[in-house]
Amino acid sequence: MPLRLQDLPGALALSLSANWNQNEADWRSMLTLGRGFGIHAAADDGVTRLAASVVVLPYGDDFAWVSMVLVLPAFRRRGYASLLLRHALAGLSAQGRAAVLDATPAGHAVYVQEGFIDTWGFARYRREARPDGAAMSGATRPLRDADWPAIEALDTPAFGANRGALLRALAQRLPLAARVAEQGGRVIGFVLGRDGREATQVGPLIAADDAVAHQLLADTLVALPGPLYLDLLDRRRALLLPWLQAQGFQFQRPFTRMVHGRRDAPGDAATIVLAAGPELG
């Protein structure tokens, strides 16, 4: 039942079957930072394979992220997702931790039945290629090692727990996407990104000020030539969506942040512009 690093090929096959963007580095990092559980089952061809997964990422003492709830198409509607979810929730309840996740519409139906409730929403947008003629604003700069205390000081109240180790790992995966904005020598916003199976994902982006958010996003997009995903909070849509659409971004799918064992989403979404992605928070 526990997923190990030798399950990586089966895990990748699972995320591929849903057309998700995670690559091996994502699975490896999630199984290292958290714990995965799976169900192996035989299909009609008699071959036993990893048929379903869930990953639990602890974020501090109060809550954990539940992610990678996936079931191979041939094994759906047999109760596998519910079974794995209940297993994860029982473990978290024994630790006194609440559960938080970002639900797709398909997952939402399962989570509601297990007692999860909705908080705020966001949506995924995709761009195929960088438009011609985009230039850096000059208002942001590449992230430096010395910025980490300031980045954690911005991120922890926004996200609701310290996820410094994860953010550092993301910055290393795609240094080109990692930028900060300063005012009077103080870091007031940052953005990170990571490589993906079929597109680069940009996020998280944390900035209270709308203009700063726009500059960080614009400068990171200039640095990245190929296909991109980003997960934009609905509450920041009015500011950024028309500009993103002019840059070639198109709507992909909605997500809902859901909680179990608490009433609100952790943190303060007022300063979040882009989520890190549904598998990370």
Ligand X SMILES: CC(C)(COP(=O)(O)OP(=O)(O)OC[C@H]1O[C@@H](n2cnc3c(N)ncnc32)[C@H](O)[C@@H]1OP(=O)(O)O)[C@@H](O)C(=O)NCCC(=O)NCCS
CB of 138 to ligand X, least distance (A): 39
Interaction between residue 104 and ligand X (CB under 6 A): yes
Tokens matching residue 195: 């490589």
CB of 265 to ligand X, least distance (A): 15
Tell me whether residue 40 or residue 144 sits nearer to ligand X (CB atom): 40
Interaction between residue 80 and ligand X (CB under 6 A): yes
Q: Under a CB-based contact definition with an 8 Å cutoff, are residues 35 and 55 in contact?
A: yes
Q: Under a CB-based contact definition with an 8 Å cutoff, are residues 49 and 43 in contact?
A: yes
| Distance, C-alpha 233 to centroid of its chain | 12
Q: Under a CB-based contact definition with an 8 Å cutoff, are residues 164 and 152 in contact?
A: yes
Q: Under a CB-based contact definition with an 8 Å cutoff, are residues 245 and 254 in contact?
A: no
- The DSSP element (H or E) to which 229 belongs, if any, is strand 228-233
**Of the ranges 102-110, 128-136, 187-195, 216-224, which one interacts with ligand X (CB under 6 A)?**
102-110
Q: Position 236: which residue type? A: R
CB of 196 to ligand X, least distance (A): 16
β-strands 98-103, 63-71 pairing: parallel
Tell me whether residue 110 or residue 158 sits nearer to ligand X (CB atom): 110
Interaction between residue 63 and ligand X (CB under 6 A): no
Interaction between residue 71 and ligand X (CB under 6 A): yes
User: What CA–CA distance (Å, rounded) separates 162 from 152?
Assistant: 7
User: What CA–CA distance (Å, rounded) separates 17 from 36?
Assistant: 18
Length of the chain: 281
Tell me whether residue 21 or residue 215 sits nearer to ligand X (CB atom): 21
β-strands 250-260, 117-127 pairing: antiparallel
Q: To which residue do tokens 């998280």 refer?
A: 204
Interaction between residue 82 and ligand X (CB under 6 A): yes
- The DSSP element (H or E) to which 187 belongs, if any, is strand 186-194
Interaction between residue 119 and ligand X (CB under 6 A): no
CB of 104 to ligand X, least distance (A): 4
Tell me whether residue 81 or residue 178 sits nearer to ligand X (CB atom): 81
Interaction between residue 223 and ligand X (CB under 6 A): no
Tell me whether residue 52 or residue 274 sits nearer to ligand X (CB atom): 52
CB of 36 to ligand X, least distance (A): 14
Interaction between residue 252 and ligand X (CB under 6 A): no
Interaction between residue 256 and ligand X (CB under 6 A): no
SS3 state at 109? helix
CB of 121 to ligand X, least distance (A): 13
Q: What angle do CA 229, 191, 34 make, to 5 degrees?
A: 75
Tell me whether residue 31 or residue 171 sits nearer to ligand X (CB atom): 31
CB of 143 to ligand X, least distance (A): 30
Q: In this chain, which of 5, 74, 106, 129 binds ligand X, going by CB under 6 A?
A: 106
Chain residues binding ligand X by CB under 6 A are: 18, 69-71, 76-82, 103-104, 106-107, 109-110, 113
